Chains A and B, each alone.
Chain A
Amino acid sequence: MGHTLHADSAAPMTHAASTHTTRLAPLAPRADFPLLAARPALHYLDSAATSQKPQAVLDAITGFYTTANANPHRGAYALSAAATDAYHGARATVAQFLGAADTDTLVFTRGTTESMNLVANAWGRVHVRPGDEIVITALEHHANFVPWQQLAASNDAVLRIVELTSDQRIDLDHLASLLSAKTKIVAITHVSNAVGSITPVAEVVRLVREHTPALIVLDGAQGAPHLPVQFDALDVDFYAFSGHKLLGPMGIGGVVGKRARWMECEPWQFGGDMIEWVNDHDSTWNVLPHKFEAGTPNAADAVGLAAAVRYLESLDMTHVRAHEVALLEAAHAKLDTLDGLTVYGPPPAERSGVLSFTLADVHPHDLATILDQHGVCIRAGHHCAQPLMRRLGASATARASFYVYSDGSDVDALVHALGEAQRLFAAA
């Protein structure tokens, strides 16, 4: 269970605390985000689901279509070369942002879900043998759960699930106890989407490497947007991420891998671009990264993604992290007076900008509807993490999540609306 916050005096809750204004400026100007600029009364607290997009990203996408649109890698004409350059320039920018020196070890996909399916198929199906073990955790998003569950089923392997501490962090002792020479893959989230727990990656890597040469796959869907990532220093084998959660467009993301591990992979989708020669009855494959990017690439969104990471770099990822911690701490300072509130996950210092909670007697769906009536957008549900919800003993939680454009007024609006919800349901 999470830690329960409660008022320690009998004074009426919420109102006293909600009256003073939280002074915390956004890290990124709301004016940079056209949707937020057009709706000043909106408190968008669902960035863990998808982030809003700055004008720079929208301009980059439009710029590609208006100045460089042609099919990359295809034409012998200058415009196609411009499209190819734009696409590969985007790859270099994004690889650098993630701390991968070898640009071509970044393979673009539609996002984290496709990245996980890629690794499970291109590496997993080839190398996992009957009786091998795949280790995941009870924190995982379904995107880093179901591909491994299905791989285990198809290759007669055994799926092992690492349990959690009472504040929803990965139980490292349990992880250590599950590792053995049989462990073939360890797939773990960098940051929990549902409760925000940050995985101590260095410790996990050290534990795994002590026991087994297993493949280490990190789900960075909530890591890359919120924490500085240096892939080459992490010593994990694959790191997957989504563009739309880090200010980029939907439909683009990728997976960075160690070159040696990519060499062990077989293609998993077949078609144009990924081939070298196609004979009547067999084919040979193109080189990395093209071998894993069948079909016309999503070049325009890759260019948009590059603009997004440049925007984040201009803010500095260490400042992004500090901003989210400040917002979480401000939210906690006010919510501590709200009776019946249970917040899940570790304390703010070990949590990304996510506030996952339940409020006694008010169902999360009711909370989300009432908050929406106050212009506050939050997520309510199982957050694509049903195994975690079973362990919390909750069918659902409400989740507010912050990002670079969030500010003190968002915190205040959240706290105020929660007080209103509580009052509505408590009224005799």
Chain B
Amino acid sequence: MYQDVILRHYRAPKGRGLPENAVVAERANPLCGDRISVGVVLEEDRIVDLGFDGRGCSIATASASMLTEAVRGLLVPDALALSERVARVVKGALDDEVQAAEPLGDLGDLRALAGVSSYPQRHSCALMAWQALREGLGGR
């Protein structure tokens, strides 16, 4: 689970800080008190800027960091589709795909989140930022 990719994003997160005029949504984990906010700036239907804020464990922070890299510049429907795909990766629902590795190739660093799938008590850490993103985009 603690792969170099995760630790690299944890130590030096990308997209830290909420852009001005962003639509912000926050998710919290009452068990540990962690909070992650994600702020998005849309032009038309495209995410032109985004960032995250808050405090979290290595998994929550790394996942938020990867999120800001992965969805920057995406159209809203594509970002929502990606968030659903990440949720399946984290929950281990893409086991075959993960093992085959190649179909996940386009996920880049996000592939590392597959390592969380065997730790059910940590799924919510990995998905906090993605849930905040979905909320900010008005999808659930």
Contact B32 A365 (CB under 8 A): yes
User: A32 within 8 Å of B by Cβ?
Assistant: no
Are A366 and B32 neighbours in the complex by a CB distance under 8 Å?
no
Determine if B7 is an interface residue (Cβ-Cβ < 8 Å).
Answer: yes
Q: How large is the interface on B (under 10, 10 to 19, 20 to 34, 35 or more residues)?
A: 10 to 19
Q: How far is the CB of A422 from chain B (nearest CB, A)?
A: 13
Residues on the B chain within 8 Å of A365, using CB: 32, 34, 57, 59, 122, 125
Instruction: Determine the distance from Cα of A381 to Cα of B34 in the docked complex, in whole angstroms.
Output: 10
Residues of chain A in range 245-275 having any CB-CB distance to chain B below 8 Å: none
How many residue pairs link A and B with beta carbons under 8 A? The number is 43
Question: Least Cβ distance of B31 to chain A in Å?
Answer: 5
Instruction: Check A389–B33 contact: CB distance below 8 A.
Output: yes
Within 8 A of B (CB), among A372-404: 380-382, 386, 389, 395-396
Complexed CA–CA distance, A380 and B122 (Å): 12
Residue numbers in A under 8 Å from B59 (CB-CB): 365-366
The verdict on A65 contacting chain B, using a C-beta distance below 8 Å, is: no
Docked CA distance A380–B34 (Å): 12
The contact of A396 among B1, B2, B7, B33, by CB within 8 Å, is B33
Instruction: Find the A residue at minimum CB distance from B32.
Output: A396
Q: Which residues of A contact B119 (CB under 8 A)?
A: 369
Q: Are A395 and B33 interface neighbours, CB within 8 A?
A: yes
Within the complex, the shortest CB–CB distance from B6 to chain A, in Å, comes to: 10
Contact with A along B104-140 (1 / 0, CB 8 A): 0000000000000001001001000000000000000
- B7 and A424: CB pair below 8 A? yes
CB distance from A175 to the nearest CB of B (A): 27
Which residues of B (23-58) have their CB < 8 Å from a CB of A?
Answer: 31-34, 55-58
Nearest CB of chain A from residue B139's CB, rounded to whole Å: 27
Closest to B61 in A: A363
Docked complex Cα distance between A91 and B1 (Å): 49
11 CB contacts below 8 A, A to B, read A363-B56, A365-B57, A366-B57, A381-B32, A382-B31, A382-B32, A395-B32, A395-B33, A424-B7, A425-B10, A425-B58
